[in-house]
Structure 1
Amino acid sequence: MSVQPKVRMTADEFLAWAEGQPGRHELADGEVFSMSPERVRHAVTKFAAQTALRDAIRACGIPCKMLPDGLSVRVDEQTVFEPDALVHCGGRLDPDATTVPEPLIVVEVLSPSTKHVDTGFKFQGYFRLPSVQHYLILDTERRTVIHHRRGAGDLIETRIAASGDLILDPPGLTLPVEALFAEP
């Protein structure tokens, strides 16, 4: 990510501005950041994760949707993130919406330029949203998943997995770790 030489923006200002901009951007504490171009490893892993989530939702038969990157999550009035994938289990979304309210599962694929942001600032931001139950951080170099899940009270539980299944409950999904890193 690189900071843009712009004035500070609110989430509403950012979302209006971003619709007409080339490339992808995020807003962090009122500052606009351009997202770096993706590497093949990042893109392949992101697609595998999206596919694995979609397949797990279908297999489970639950009324949820996997939504790919390109859609934003408003964390607060100064912060808007664009995750690599998310799962929404609420009501029907407006087909023209650019933001997804109340995501249940959020996925980020680590890249060299964003590792510290994904594991720090975004981790804290996503869990400020009461709807977020699971935050999956995919480490492509180690082929591991850092699974943060909301526990009782204000507890966030963390598991690092290189194999086996992730149990994402709610909403009741079983997600094989290997599927998150499979070649599409």
Structure 2
Amino acid sequence: MNAPLPSVSMTVPEFLAWSERQPETDRYELVDGRILPMSPERARHNLVKLAVAVALLDSIKRAGVSAMVFTDGMGIAVGETTVREPDASVQLGDGIDLETKLLPAPLIVVEVVSPSSEHDDVATKLLDYFKVESVRHYLIVLPMKCAVIHHRRNDQGTIDTRIVREGDIVLDPPGLTVAVASLLGPAAAAKEIH
């Protein structure tokens, strides 16, 4: 991220074309037309993201559901001028263009909270992700608080919210069950020791 970021407002297609010319090690989101660099992460955050992806993949296999789990790096277009990059996401089916940078119909999105991202994850991204018609579940993993906030769009289109500290979270659709402890990664292991 050595070069200055463009100051001009961009659309999603313009952002994707610009991002193609950037080093693969640099990561960005587009928010309301502005390019925002993504900060390097700590080991805990990375390990929790891995735990989330593995837990979702294991749940999909157990349920026999045809779905794909994606880690960060895959974008979700929110309207014409925003591209979010969740820490993990799930899309139904197994036929996706392997060259795409955007998920066409994510069903589940997950953000792992870090101290610098908590406000954005809990407030702004909640509003953004539920603008995407296909999103039914938004999980906010709070490893330092050993909790997961589960926002679910119900069949009437309203959002139900619950805070879960133990047990399972049911993600229906598509019919998955995920243990809270498996989503917390090293935070859950540390909790068990104490």
Which bin holds the TM-score, normalised by the shorter protein? over 0.9
| Aligned residue in 2 for 1:37 | 40
Matches within 5 A, 1:23-172: 23-90=26-93, 92-172=95-175
Q: Specify every segment of 5 or more residues in structure 1 that has no aligned partner in the other structure, as ranges.
A: none
TM-score by length of 1: 0.94
| Aligned residue in 1 for 2:192 | none
| Aligned residue in 2 for 1:14 | 15
CA distance in 2, matches of 1:141, 1:5: 35
Tell me if structure 2 keeps the 8 A contact 1:4–1:31.
Answer: no
CA distance in 2, matches of 1:91, 1:30: 31
Deviation at 1:153, TM superposition (A): 2.5
Deviation at 1:91, TM superposition (A): 5.7
CA distance in 2, matches of 1:72, 1:19: 13
Tell me if structure 1 keeps the 8 A contact 2:68–2:94.
Answer: no
Deviations 1:91-138 (A, max 9, x none): 610011111011000000111222111111111011011110000001
CA distance in 2, matches of 1:63, 1:164: 24
Question: In the alignment, residue 135 of structure 2 is paired with which amino acid?
Answer: V
Number of residue equivalences: 182
Root-mean-square deviation (CA), in Å?
A: 1.6
TM-score by length of 2: 0.89
Q: Which has the higher helix share?
A: 2
Deviation at 1:4, TM superposition (A): 4.4
- Secondary structure of the residue aligned to 1:121 is helix
CA distance in 1, matches of 2:185, 2:34: 35
Deviation at 1:172, TM superposition (A): 0.2
Cα distance change on mapping 1:4 and 1:144 into 2, 3 Å: farther
Tell me if structure 2 keeps the 8 A contact 1:90–1:102.
Answer: no
| Max Rg structure | 2
- Secondary structure of the residue aligned to 2:145 is coil
Deviation at 1:154, TM superposition (A): 3.4
